[in-house]
């Protein structure tokens, strides 16, 4: 690619055990609700469940700012 940008899909890293506790599986598309004064719901979040993951959600800067994160 000579120029351009890559925008990663928002996604949630989670262990397989945590995913089981939450009732989700690797590759599933979920919605994540953020509470607070600027709370909102992130739709189309991809679950990435692996044994060596740490619970962490990746979103872009504009999305984080919109939610006041």
The pLDDT > 90 percentage for the chain reads 83
Tokens of 40: 């909102």
Which strands make up the sheet holding 29-34, listed edge to edge?
Answer: 29-34, 40-49, 11-14, 56-58
Tens of pLDDT, residue by residue over 44-66, are 999 999 999 999 999 999 999 99
Band of residue 31 on the pLDDT scale cut at 50, 70, 90: very high
Question: What's the DSSP call for residue 27?
Answer: T
Q: Is the pLDDT of residue 7 over 90?
A: no
Q: Is the pLDDT of residue 13 over 80?
A: yes
- For 15-21, what is the mean pLDDT? 96
Question: Would you list the domain boundaries of the chain?
Answer: 11-67
The CA dihedral of 38, 43, 46, 48, to the nearest 10 degrees, is 40
CA 11 to centroid of chain Cα atoms: 3
The secondary structure element, H or E, covering residue 30 is: strand 29-34
């Amino acid at each position: 690619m000579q120029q351009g940008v890559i925008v990663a899909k928002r996604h949630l890293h989670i262990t397989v055990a945590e995913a089981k506790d939450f009732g989700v599986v690797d590759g599933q598309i979920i919605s994540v609700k953020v509470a607070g004064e600027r709370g909102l719901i992130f739709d189309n979040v991809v679950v990435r469940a692996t044994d060596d993951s740490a619970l962490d959600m990746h979103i872009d800067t504009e999305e984080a700012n919109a939610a006041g994160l």
